[in-house]
Amino acid sequence: MSEPVVVMEHVSKHYRQGSTDVPALRDVSLTIERGEFTALCGPSGSGKTTALNLIGALDKPTSGSIKVEGHDLGSLGRGALSELRRDRIGFVFQAYNLVPVLTAYENAEIVLALQGAAPGARRSTVMKVLGDVGLGGMEARRPDAMSGGQQQRVAIARAVAAHPAIILADEPTANVDSETAEKLLELMEKLNRQEGATFLFSTHDPRVMARARRLLKMVDGQIVEDQRKS
Mean pLDDT of 210-214: 95
- Supply the Cα-derived Rg of the chain in whole angstroms: 17
Question: What is the rounded CA–CA span in Å between residue 30 and residue 39?
Answer: 12
Q: Where do the structural domains in the chain lie, given as residue ranges?
A: 6-228
Provide the pLDDT confidence category of residue 89 given band limits of 50, 70 and 90: very high
Mean pLDDT value of segment 109-135: 93
The pLDDT-based confidence of 33 (bands split at 50, 70, 90) is very high
Strand partners of residue 54: none
Q: Please state which CATH class domain 6-228 belongs to.
A: alpha beta
- Average pLDDT estimate for 46-63: 95
Q: Which residue pairs, CB below 8 angstroms and at least 24 apart, start in 117-126?
A: 125/161, 126/157, 126/161
Per-residue 3-state assignment (H helix, E strand, C coil) for the chain: CCCCCEEEEEEEEEEEECCEEEEEEEEEEEEECCCCEEEEECCCCCCHHHHHHHHCCCCCCCEEEEEECCEEHHHCCHHHHHHHHHHHEEEEECCCCCCCCCCHHHHHHHHHHHHCCCHHHHHHHHHHHHHHCCCCCCCCCCHHHCCHHHHHHHHHHHHHHCCCCEEEEECCCCCCCHHHHHHHHHHHHHHHHHHCCCEEEEECCHHHHHHCCEEEEEECCEEEEEEECC
What residues are paired with 28 via a beta bridge?
A: 11
User: pLDDT band at 142, cuts 50/70/90?
Assistant: very high
What are the angstrom distances between the C-alpha of 73 and each of 23, 80, 93, 111, 136? 20, 9, 21, 20, 37
Judged against a pLDDT cut of 90, whether residue 199 lies above it is answered with yes
pTM of the complete model: 0.92
Work out the pLDDT band at 96, boundaries 50, 70, 90.
Answer: confident
Average pLDDT of the residues of the chain: 93
pLDDT at res. 229: 86
Stretch 189-205: mean pLDDT: 92
Nearest-angstrom CA–CA distance, 110 and 122: 9
The answer for residues whose C-beta is within 8 angstroms of residue 211's C-beta and 6 or more apart is 37, 185, 189
